[in-house]
Structure formats: structure tokens, C-alpha cells
Structure 1
Amino acid sequence: MRRSMLTALTLAFAVPAGAAIWQGGDLSRFFAASASSGDLLQGCTDVPEAVALATELRDRALRIERYMEALDTRKAELATAEAALKARATELRQQKSGIQSRRDGAAQAVREDIDRLVAVYDQMKPAEAAAVLTNLPPDFAAEILMRVQPETGARIIAVVEPRQAALLTAQMGARSVQND
């Protein structure tokens, strides 16, 4: 008789749970409802196995309910964190584009300044340009010589003392190799 009672109790819980699963329902409502029903043990309080089974099922239902609540809390926390990360990523992309545009603007300004300087050296007499270039750092002087008109650059290098001309020519060649 006790086995048939346990089988009946098992079927009493398994059939509605199976139906809920079959219909795609939410089992947490089923467990909460079954755990809170007062008539779960009606007529079975004298069977210790039934009382133990009902207690265990109620405890399991409560654990599952707490777990589902913890999952919902964790989902909400993850959604909040994801939104914060997306906002930060958007902010960083905007900062990056701002930095890039400022960098491009600064590079353009430097190019314009160098172009003006090159135009000045193009207009100078070769001897005057050579006197100024020999007092500049070699890499800067080589950059200017590379940008002036080739004929002007040749005249300037012809006026520079040979040792300095060799150094400037080497700098120009190294600059060309770096750009390739």
C-alpha cells in the first residue's frame, strides 16, 4: 500500500509538471503553487514516506524558485553592465575620431608650414640657402632639400662644403629609404 501511495504521489506531481513542460509553460509557477498548497498531504500525514517526500519536494521547489530569482537578478545586472559597456565604447569611438581629426589637422598644419618654408628656400640664392642649411640639424636640412625644386637643391648642395654635402645627401637617402 505504501508503494502504491508513493507511486500515486509521484504521478500527481509528474503529470502536471510534464503537461507544463509539454505546453512550454513556466515551471517556477507550478513549483511555487505545489509547494504552497496546504492540501498536499491531506489524508497522508500518517505515512512518513509521503511526509518526507512532500517536504523534500517543497524544499526543492523553494531552491528552484530562489535559483530562478537569482538568475533573473543576474540577467538584470548583466543587461546593466552591457548597456554601460556599449555607452563607454561609443564614447571611446567618439574620442578616437576627435583625436584622429585633431591629429590630421596638426599634420596638415605641419605640411603647410613646411611647404611655406620650402617656398622660402626656393626663392633664396643658393649661397644664402646653403649658409642657413648648414646650421640646421642634418635631418631637417635634408628634408628641406628633398622638398625644394631639384634644380634649386642641386645649386644649394653645390655651394655647401663637401663634407656637409655628403652628410646631407646621406640623410636624404636614408629618408627616402624610410619612406619606402
Structure 2
Amino acid sequence: MMGKIRKPRILRSRGGSLLMIATLLIGSGVLRLVFEAAPAMAKAEGNKEGTTKPHAADKDMHMAKAGEPAQAMSDRAGLQDMLTAFREREARLTERERLIEERAHALEIADKAVTEKLQALVRAETALRETLALADGAVEKDIARLTVVYETMKPKEAAALFEEMAPEFAAGFLARMRPEAAAQIMTGLSAEAAYTISVVMAGRNAQAPTE
């Protein structure tokens, strides 16, 4: 009888152990599922929160990024204005340099023209002096030749010619003649003509320098 009572106890003890082992295995599986699913759930929750409610730092970064294009556009506009001002100033300087070069070129042309005209005037004056010198020389030669002719003429014939000459002209010839020839011609002149020629000759001598 005692053997029958011990047998069921042994069976109950084995059945309790199996139940406990099964419970532990199930609990371990549940825990494993929980641990494995937790990161995925957290990631999904984070993604969900990121789409619905952005973080404050993300919001600030988004605002900063939104403000960056406006600042960049403002800086770009400022640089463009500076470049435009520089180009306008360069254009003005280029135009001023062009005007200065044109004025300098015009002055150079005018100076060259004035120099050429001055040189032409100098050449013309030199030529005129040479012509006058030649004319004076020719006149002097002609007067000297006529003086010799009048000196070699007979005094009576020469006096007749001097009577018809202008007093200044006749006085010029007589002043060039030898005193003897001039005296003979003066003797053949009328008193009036001789007096007039004498006055002209005396006036020339009076105006001549004494020193």
C-alpha cells in the first residue's frame, strides 16, 4: 500500500518540473521578442515623430537654411552693384582718357601746323630779303652805271638832262659823281634848278650823322 502512494508523488514532481521548464521557455521567448521588437518600435516611433513633430534643433537648422538663400541673394546683389559701379567708373575713366588723347592729338596737329607756318614765314622772309638785296644790288649797279654815263657826257648835255629830272633824283646822281663833273653839270643848270638841287643835297648832308 505504501508503494502505491509514493508512485503518484514521483509523477507529480516530474509534471511540475516540465511545466516550469515550459513556462521559462515561453517567458524567454516572450522576452526575446520584446527585446528584439523594442528597437524597431523605437525607430518607427522616432520616424513618426520626425515626420509629425520636428525637433527644436532641426527646426532651427531648417530656419537657418531657409534664411541662408536670402542672405546669399543680398550679398550677391551687393556684389553686383559694386561690379556695376566699378564698370561705370572704368567706362568714365576710359572716356576721359579718350578725350584727353584726342585733345593731345589735336594740340599736336595744331602745334605742327603752327611750326610749319612759322618755318614757311621764315623762308619767305629770307627769300624776300634775298630778293630785296638783289634788287638793291641791281639798283645800285644801275645807279652806278648811270652815274658813270652822266660823268662821261658833255657837261652841257648832262645839264639839260638834269634840268628835267626831279630835284631829289638829280641830287642823288650829283652826290655820287666826282666833284669836278658835278660842278660842270651844276654850271650848265638854270639858277632855279641849281638852287633846288643844292637845297636837297644840303638837307641830306644835314641829316647825316656826324659821329
TM over 0.5: yes
CA–CA separation in structure 1 for the residues paired with 2:88 and 2:109: 32
Q: After TM superposition, give the deviation of residue 84 of structure 1 in Å.
A: 2.1
Residue equivalent to 1:91: 120
Deviation per CA, 1:71-120: give whole Å up to 9, x if none: 01111121122222222222222222122111111111110110011101
Aligned length: 137
The answer for unaligned runs of 5 or more in structure 1 is 1-41
The answer for unaligned runs of 5 or more in structure 2 is 1-72
Is residue 2:153 matched to residue 1:124? Answer: yes
Q: After TM superposition, give the deviation of residue 52 of structure 1 in Å.
A: 6.2
Is residue 2:148 matched to residue 1:148? Answer: no
Q: After TM superposition, give the deviation of residue 63 of structure 1 in Å.
A: 1.8
Map 1:67-78 → 2, pairs under 5 A: 67-78=96-107
Residue equivalent to 1:111: 140
Greater Rg over alpha carbons, structure = 2
CA–CA separation in structure 2 for the residues paired with 1:43 and 1:177: 102
CA–CA separation in structure 1 for the residues paired with 2:83 and 2:208: 82
Residue equivalent to 1:44: 75
Residue equivalent to 1:169: 198
Q: After TM superposition, give the deviation of residue 55 of structure 1 in Å.
A: 4.8
Residue equivalent to 1:26: none
Please, which moves more after superposition, 107-116 or 149-158? 149-158
CA–CA separation in structure 1 for the residues paired with 2:139 and 2:185: 23
Is residue 2:100 matched to residue 1:100? Answer: no
Q: After TM superposition, give the deviation of residue 158 of structure 1 in Å.
A: 2.5
Q: TM-score, normalised by structure 2?
A: 0.56
Q: After TM superposition, give the deviation of residue 65 of structure 1 in Å.
A: 1.9
Q: TM-score, normalised by structure 1?
A: 0.65
Q: Which has the higher contact order (CA 8 A, sep 6+)?
A: 1
Residue equivalent to 1:65: 94
Q: After TM superposition, give the deviation of residue 165 of structure 1 in Å.
A: 1.0
Aligned letter for 1:94? R
Is residue 2:190 matched to residue 1:157? Answer: no
Q: CA RMSD in A?
A: 2.5
